Structure 1
């Protein structure tokens, strides 16, 4: 067990977790600016990107790079500086550190070393999109980026399809259609979804509808900018999944549809069995044309 008094004077420095704007620079808080000016060093995900922010607010604090490719080697350096009494601010390119960005490992290292970790409140794309989505905001699950590989993606959305709470995802424009298709295939055509695009920027846009409608929009639209996806929870978690189990498709056809979305045969059979309320062996036999 450990108790931290965030603002009690100590011999060591403090790690400040400082959020940065997700698009609109006016969302930078006074406290965030003052903190970046007062610390001895800023650990930045991309120093070139952060320098633009520092220039805008006339912040002259020195930076050091801290990203997913140099995390381990940098942590030792940063801990040494903190133990020597230097205050350090950690920032990501946009939004909150550690949320789909580097930072968690450094926080853990500081806690283990008895160094105070002080978070500042600020911009977060997921919560910003959630409150404007029109989808019931509480409770919710923040997931971030879904897996890239077909098998892992199918397994993830199959599990998430049963959750009754709102779901928050991040997605890149070049992957949006594939992700929407995977959700549609597993969640069903009627599940409500809201896309938030270019949040807080000049071309901010919200696209609201069911998964089938939003997938059609994505198919017909030139996709640009990062997306936040808010998906409504499952109102009946134990119900079968209508997009998988349909009267128009046989069990083998349903399995093939899942495989075409990137699932392995084994995962596809499991998904179809669950959607139809059948034992996995029944679907396996039907797909492989085996008799009992």
Structure 2
């Protein structure tokens, strides 16, 4: 098939018969345009999908930032509350220390009165910077350390004020009972011979409490030849007391006991004829008559 084209010009009609290539040109142009259109459409769709994806990602990130901010504010509010509680506890600690110092007439040497006034915002956590909060916590830690040092010194001083009273040996090592054998020469209950009795015996009910006659440190708690179950307490200044023939012991070597503390239960262990406490007072390594300590008034 052939196509003939007649073109009217000034010089007349011109005849032009295109070849088959010219006939294929419109088809090629149409196919090319269709391909370009499809490519552009796909590219636009891909770009739109990426835009939508980025938009969704930004929305997620924005939500995460909001959640992180909320969590941070909650934690900060919790820290502020914790600091407020610490401040309140320190205030009570300072008040207690000041009271103890006044009771012992030492308030002029120990100052617990600084920075006791505490204030705060009406809404907990609002307007508080983390650096500010950390600084406040560091100040609290410093105040706690300072107060602990002062209270330790105060405790030592207060203890020293009363240590002489506690170490003052007086009274009997039992609440109920009677003096069954005094200090000095006596007939030995086993051999009948005249021997030196280097302590005082207090008879009573088996299992009754045996108490310290003064404060001190336990230097012996266990069995000793002749004494049975024995407790020995060092009261300082070269003075010691011994409590023998016990049924059981309530203290260990190294324990610090106060005047009147239970140290044992009355028994009849060792060289004994019945339930009693053999009570001795030693100055240095020598037993002395404990009677003057037993019957003197407590300081």
- With the length of structure 1 as denominator, give the TM-score of the two structures: 0.22
By relative contact order (CA 8 Å, sep 6+), the higher-ranking structure is: 1
More strand as a share of residues: 2
> What TM-score does the superposition give when structure 2 sets the normalisation length?
0.22
Larger radius of gyration: 2
